[in-house]
């Protein structure tokens, strides 16, 4: 009887009615989610526990990690979720501790450098997109990416100082390379010059030395007459001086070679509408109206309207001052309209 009494005390007093979980007091999942009834070893292939219902989804390489690697104490609530809690900072505090900014759970290899840089102070554009990382980050071989200056001069200082044709220092060129160089170009030569301030199109696509003489590459004036005054003075068809044309070539010309095609859109506002109104597209050469060579103050309406004389005579039979002459036509119809 005494043995039975002691055994009863041991069972109900010493051994608790429910085993205490090694996973912490607040862990209330059923043991069968992870364990079998054979032993306490965990067979992950037979686990019914869904880790993705926690605040840390198991994706990519994290699915192959042993549970004890993250849950060393078996108290699962003590596991941390920050990257730096499990992964050593190989970059030595040069890029921060959020691995997910650059890496994903599939691999440590980075394949989205362009997108990463778009979030930085220096987006990779043009030639910078294919530049060698080590060229800008000399410590990259050590996996360190120290903060760099983002001004052109920070990386291209040696090229700026060494350039002699033209000499950037003596010419006082800006150290902001993109003022002259196109960042989409893969070379520093003339083909990569950013000449947007004066587009080199058509007849202006010339050798640099034709405008930049004596090795001086300071900005050249964009006033047409500074380069083309001789062309202006020698023009005979039409005579620009006699006709009083503007010395601003772009008023009539494009940058197409040989000064053709040319237009004189001011004709509509200053003289007579030929690019608009009834006379639009009715001519293809100035000489149709200006039939006296080189004399653009002289014009003829009758070259085109001679066949309408009898009709015009009848229509103007109530006008005593009517004469069928070009100057008379223009005097009454300066805009080319019947109701002028």
> Does the pLDDT value for residue 253 go beyond 90?
yes
First-to-last CA distance in the chain?
138
Per the prediction, the chain carries an average pLDDT of 83
DSSP-assigned letters across all residues of 214-236 = GG--SPPP--HHHHHHHHHHH-B
Token output for 330: 């223009």
Helix (H, G, I), strand (E, B) or coil at 42: strand
Q: What is the pLDDT of residues 149-190, one digit of tens each?
A: 889 999 899 999 999 888 888 888 889 998 888 888 888 876
Backbone angles phi, psi at 104, to 5 degrees: -120, 175
Q: How confident is the model at residue 222 (pLDDT cuts 50, 70, 90)?
A: confident
Question: Between the CA of residue 110 and those of 48, 63, 106, 116, what are the distances in Å?
Answer: 34, 20, 10, 9
Q: How far apart are CA 91 and CA 88, in angstroms?
A: 9
Contact 14, 6 (CB under 8 A): no
Contact 257, 228 (CB under 8 A): no
Q: What is the pLDDT of residues 44-88, one digit of tens each?
A: 778 888 888 888 888 888 988 888 888 888 888 888 888 888 888
Which is more confidently placed, 295 or 108? Answer: 108
Contact 96, 147 (CB under 8 A): no
Q: What is the mean pLDDT of residues 9-25?
A: 57
Q: What is the pLDDT of residues 22-48, one digit of tens each?
A: 888 878 888 888 888 788 888 777 888
Token output for 282: 């009715």
Q: How far apart are CA 250 and CA 256, in angstroms?
A: 11
> Does the pLDDT value for residue 12 go beyond 50?
no
Helix (H, G, I), strand (E, B) or coil at 43: coil
Contact 73, 87 (CB under 8 A): no
Question: Between the CA of residue 123 and those of 110, 116, 120, 164, 170, what are the distances in Å?
Answer: 16, 8, 6, 30, 31
Give the rounded percent of residues in the chain with a pLDDT score beyond 70: 93
Contact 33, 47 (CB under 8 A): yes
- Which residues are CB-neighbours of 176 under 8 A, at least 6 positions away? 151, 152, 153
């Amino acid at each position: 009887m005494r043995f039975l009494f002691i055994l009863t005390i041991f069972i109900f007093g010493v051994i608790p009615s429910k085993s205490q979980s090694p996973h912490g007091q607040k862990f209330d999942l059923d043991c069968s989610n992870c364990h079998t009834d054979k032993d306490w070893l965990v067979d992950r292939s037979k686990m019914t526990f869904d880790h993705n219902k926690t605040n840390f989804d198991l994706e990519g390489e994290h699915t192959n990690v042993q549970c004890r690697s993250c849950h060393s104490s078996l108290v699962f609530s003590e596991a941390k979720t920050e990257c730096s809690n499990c992964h050593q900072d190989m970059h030595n505090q040069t890029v921060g501790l959020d691995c997910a900014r650059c890496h994903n759970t599939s691999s440590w290899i980075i394949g989205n450098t362009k997108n990463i840089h778009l979030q930085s102070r220096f987006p990779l554009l043009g030639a910078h997109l294919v530049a060698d990382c080590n060229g800008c980050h000399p410590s990259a071989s050590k996996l360190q990416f120290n903060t760099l200056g983002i001004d052109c001069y920070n990386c291209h200082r040696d090229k700026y100082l060494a350039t002699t044709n033209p000499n950037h220092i003596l010419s006082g060129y800006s150290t902001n390379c993109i003022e002259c160089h196109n960042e989409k170009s893969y070379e520093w030569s003339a083909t990569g010059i950013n000449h947007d301030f004066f587009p080199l199109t058509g007849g202006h696509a010339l050798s640099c030395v034709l405008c930049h003489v004596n090795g001086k590459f300071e900005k050249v004036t964009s006033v047409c007459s500074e380069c083309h005054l001789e062309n202006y003075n020698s023009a005979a068809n039409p005579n620009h001086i006699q006709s009083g044309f503007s010395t601003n070539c772009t008023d009539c010309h494009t940058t197409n070679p040989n000064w053709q095609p040319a237009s004189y859109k001011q004709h509509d506002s200053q003289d007579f509408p030929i690019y608009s109104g009834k006379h639009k597209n009715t001519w293809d050469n100035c000489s149709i109206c200006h039939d006296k060579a080189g004399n653009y103050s002289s014009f003829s309406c009758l070259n085109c309207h001679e066949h309408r004389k009898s009709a015009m005579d009848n229509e103007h039979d109530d006008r005593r001052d009517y004469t069928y002459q070009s100057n008379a036509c223009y005097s009454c119809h300066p805009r080319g309209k019947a109701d002028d």
